[in-house]
Amino acid sequence: MKKIIVFLAAAAFALQVNAQTQPEKVADKDVPATVVGTFESNHPNAKMVSWKKMDGNYAAEYDESSTKNWAIYNASGTLVGTKVKLKDEEVPKTVSDYVNKNHKDAVNKEYFKMKDAKGTVTYGAKVKDKKLIFDSKGTYIKTEDCKE
């Protein structure tokens, strides 16, 4: 009985920790004004903006120039990073070659270009429920579980 209680407590803790790392939709009114102000000044032509909160940061998902984009800000309105959905012809060959070789059965593949606050570029590929990460040259780095 004692083992069951310990197991259930550990399972509950694991679920709670996992739930905290999932993106949470946030209403526009609940996003700090400094974050919204910075976003709007940087992206005056953004359309269909929606917000999510994760790990204390605010992510704007929006369309701009017919492309899906994300901009991530901390609570003070400082840009933490960006992500742009890539068209197939924009994906570095090394990235698409790796994905096609190692995930032949995947039907829906999405590719992204990400940039952190320092300007470091990485690429991502979403395949099924996994996110593959590549460096700026398209060299495979790691695989992560998708959080959204």
pLDDT tens-digit series, residues 62-92: 999 899 999 999 999 999 999 999 999 999 9
Among 49, 65, 69, 77, CA closest to 115: 69
Parse the chain into domains and list their residue ranges.
24-145
Query: Model pTM?
Result: 0.77
The residue with greater pLDDT, 6 or 58, is: 58
CATH classification number, 24-145, choose in 3.75.10.10, 3.40.50.300, 3.40.190.10, 3.10.450.360: 3.10.450.360
